[in-house]
Amino acid sequence: MKKLLLVFAAAWTCVGQAVAQKGNNHNFEISKNLEVFNDIYKQLDRFYVDTLNADTVIGWAIDAMLNKVDPFTIHFSETNMDDLRTMTTGKYAGIGSIIRYKKSEDRVVIGEPYEGSPSDKAGVKAGDVILSVDGTDVKGMPVEEVTKLLRGDAGTRFVLTVRRPGQEKELSFKITRENIQLPAVPYYGMVADGVGYLLLNSFTEDCSREVRRAIVSLKEQGARSLVLDLRGNPGGSLSEAVEVVNLFVPKGQKVVYTRGKLASSNMEYFTQKPPLDVDMPVVVLVDGGTASAAEIVSGALQDLDRAVVVGMRTYGKGLVQTLRETPYHGNLKVTTSRYYIPSGRCIQAYDYRHLKADGSVGTVPDSLTKVFHTAAGREVRDGGGIKPDVVMKPDSLADIVYEVAASDELFDFATRYTVAHKEIAPAGEFGISDEEYDMFVKEMVAGNFPHKYRSGSVLEILEKTARRDGCYDRAKEKIDELKALFTPDLEEDLRKNKKDIKKLLVDEIIPRYYYQKGAVVQQLSGDVDLQEALKILSDPETYARILGKRK
């Protein structure tokens, strides 16, 4: 026994030495590389042909390093702390308007003033071309720079000068900046008899209170079931996610837990309050833009068999970030742990620590995911986000629809339409007539809107390759025939995709009259995911069967 104990002691000594050696090597590698970086920058500063700006160059180095770690670890310097505050609270001080860059003007234009915002109260309209901000000409400035000029301390005043389409004279507005609160719940309302709908855009500070108030209001309006829309929700506060889940499940339920390198990163989150309603049937809508805290809510409600999840597979962000102070009043938002929802699964889809040979990020293949079980025993899997209980197929849209959606031409048509029409039908009922669409098509054709098939790009590669291979002459006739087949006809493609492009036009016009709430109502009027949710909620047996329960 004594010899055996000596052997164990010797073995543990070796293990301890190995661990210590590994730690020493790690610390040496850190010191060595920091010393190399420090020396390289000093030599750049001393010998480079031009004088370098330390904030810019070292800022590039920091951003490049963090980008290689993961896209969620970000450094916020003192100069961009406002961005961090807006991200976490949904608040900022400014004029309350979406702005966008317009290529033909080389200027930023007003995209959409928020209802009741300083810009809205001053009379600023979508389509107004920004000429100057307090006398500073903004021609050629990117959106980020113009945003900085428009924002400032609440209560400060400035003059905004714009050119409005259809008017020759420049317009100037005296605007007082205000604290702007971006609504976490931009819309809620009744969508069918006894069915309430709630759109939750982000998990910012106190968003759970907004959700609670909205549900209480819907119940007062007669809602007996609920559609919770988390599509496009990028997430945010983990604690707010727990609070939202708490609205639907009893006090004391574990919703999520985290595991990281340090013990301080290992946390468990339980519901702390009495729920609002544990019986109301709920359908959660998700898509590929549903991420982070939004996945915690949808995943936890799925794991607890508390809601039916409908839509497309979610983003797959199973990482948690915390804020750490950095010198000179900065903050580092750093990934410190992974989170796990009630079934025990982590839904992280991307492996940022093992990049592919080309530098791209790999995902966990379905064949390597593990099976977990919901409270009722249904199979669910880790990795790759939340797979909905009812999977919907994504819209298959032609490239021209995406081209039009991103174009200035779409935006300009909506602006001219607004100038010509003082009033339109209510949101949800408004539509573009065939005559109006014909006008849009004629304008696009007359303006030689750039439209190109991706197959045409492939043919260009084929032609270049054939020339290099020396076989172009004998293939020329066939290549020319293919070119003729794949040369786009703009007018034909615009008419072929009339339904989808009409919807784009309507979606661009509606906010000009009815703001963000109207835009949501309009989009819901043809929403197939919502229709599927209503179908499920109208059939208690189907709802119970999906959740693995007996009705």
What does 219-287 look like in DSSP terms, one character per residue? HHTT-SEEEEE-TT---B-HHHHHHHHHTTS-TT-EEEEEEESSGGG-EEEE--S--S-SSS-EEEEE-
Place of tokens 């304008």: 443
DSSP single-letter state for residue 427: T
> In whole angstroms, how far apart are CA 433 and each of 73, 400, 441, 503?
48, 20, 12, 11
pLDDT-derived band at 232 (thresholds 50, 70, 90) equals: very high
Q: What is the mean pLDDT of the chain?
A: 92
**Do 233 and 266 form a contact (C-beta atoms < 8 A)?**
no
Give the up-direction half-sphere exposure of residue 138: CA atoms within 13 A in the CB hemisphere: 28
Residue 14 has pLDDT above 70, yes or no: no
Lowest mean pLDDT segment, chosen from 119-128, 361-370, 381-390, 425-434: 361-370
**Do 96 and 180 form a contact (C-beta atoms < 8 A)?**
yes
Active site residues: 292, 303, 317
Backbone angles phi, psi at 130, to 5 degrees: -75, 120
Question: Tokens standing for 239?
Answer: 């604690």
Residue 404 has pLDDT above 90, yes or no: yes
What is the tens place of the pLDDT at every residue in 18-39? 555 666 788 889 999 999 999 9
How much of the chain, in percent, has pLDDT values that exceed 90?
78
Beta-strand runs (E) in 95-156: 97-102, 107-113, 129-133, 136-137
pLDDT-derived band at 456 (thresholds 50, 70, 90) equals: confident
Nearest to residue 292, comparing CAs of 260, 320, 332? 320
pLDDT at 83: 83
The single-letter code of the amino acid at 353 is R
Lowest mean pLDDT segment, chosen from 91-105, 222-236, 472-486: 472-486
263 vs 368: CA distance, rounded Å:
28
Residue 4 has pLDDT above 60, yes or no: no
126 vs 109: CA distance, rounded Å:
8
